[in-house]
Amino acid sequence: MNPPIYDLIIIGAGPAGMTAAVYAARKKMNFILMSIDIGGQAAWSGDIENYTGYQFITGPELALKFQEHINAFGIEVLMPEVVKDIIKRQTLVIVKTEKLEYTAKSIIIATGKRPNQLNVPGEIEYKNKGLTYCATCDGPIFKGKDVAVIGGGNSGLDAVMQLNKICPKVYLITNDSKLTGDLIMIEKVRSFSNVEIIYNAAVSKVSGDVFVKTLSLKQSDKEIDLNVEGIFVEIGLIPNSECAAILAKNNKGEIIIDAHNQTNIEGIFAAGDVTDIPEKQIIIACGEGSKACLSSFHYLSTHNL
């Protein structure tokens, strides 16, 4: 029996991918949704106050709402599926995963981003032994412990806002001379009496015994050792675009798209944080996912495939 040829394959089940799936279901497209996880970066977020319709909701709660929405349409997520390569073969697109090979007339890549690493001594050794990349996932483990957050952008500020409620001391470390996140978040973090902000500091080493005990910093010409039991790395993200070697990308590795979410290869669309759209927000990723699906539907409607 020949393998099925789908109208659409959606890769990634974060906000962009799940929204695309809802639109595909409503259009009665023959499609599949595959991912390594559910929720993407939304599931890592703490308190969300800027998603229209919810004055307040946590990231995991919003991700659950997205999952409930796709479940209502009977959409199954093939998971975990790790995409290794994407090939355009005449009019069809081949998606190769670690398990199988899938064929479709169009695809949407909505694979999001993953955390940057510090690349300092001790980081790998103490990963998941006090060093983590997700305050939402792992924060509760550090209740009652002194911790450090690395990164002065929105991700770092979000982590501090979660941790200050449960940790007696929170150090916020940035290699810049100022914090770079949203002003309202900066003001909140500065108001916390148990938060100390250390500017112009670079991480030089993570050390401990079985678990993290010390975070070493270099600030100008002096060394600083912080006695902490938890380290949260929040220094930006890398696009999960390695599987799409055939596509044009910018110098950050983000997939280049046009206003219709079309990549440089006909029939291959992309949406969300893996692309070069200028702003990375949950609500924007959702909008981009819907656009990408509508563009795929229009593409299939106007091409004899």
In this structure, what CATH number is given to the domain that contains residue 17? 3.50.50.60
85 plus 166 within the same structural domain: no
**Two tokens at 230?**
């938890």
State the virtual CA torsion across 269, 255, 181, 198 in degrees, nearest 10. Answer: 150
**Residue 60 pLDDT:** 87
110 plus 241 within the same structural domain: yes
77 plus 133 within the same structural domain: no
138 plus 242 within the same structural domain: no
pTM for this prediction: 0.83
**Residue 99 pLDDT:** 86
**Residue 1 pLDDT:** 66
Q: Is 66 helix (H, G, I), strand (E, B) or coil?
A: helix
47 plus 110 within the same structural domain: yes
229 plus 131 within the same structural domain: yes
Domain C-terminal end among 233, 250, 270: 233
- One-letter amino acid at 149 equals V
76 plus 182 within the same structural domain: no
106 plus 243 within the same structural domain: yes
76 plus 144 within the same structural domain: no
Domain C-terminal end among 186, 204, 233: 233
Number of domains in the chain: 2
**Residue 244 pLDDT:** 95
177 plus 91 within the same structural domain: no
Domain C-terminal end among 179, 200, 233: 233
> For residue 17, which of 9, 28, 6, 29 has the smallest C-alpha distance?
9
Three-point CA angle 292, 295, 298, nearest 5°: 155
124 plus 44 within the same structural domain: no
Regions of the chain short of the pLDDT cut 50: none
Query: Is the link from the previous residue into 80 a cis peptide, with omega within 30 of 0?
Result: yes
For 268, other C-beta atoms within 10 Å of its C-beta total: 24
101 plus 77 within the same structural domain: yes
Structural domain of residue 134, as residue ranges? Answer: 117-233
For 129, other C-beta atoms within 10 Å of its C-beta total: 14
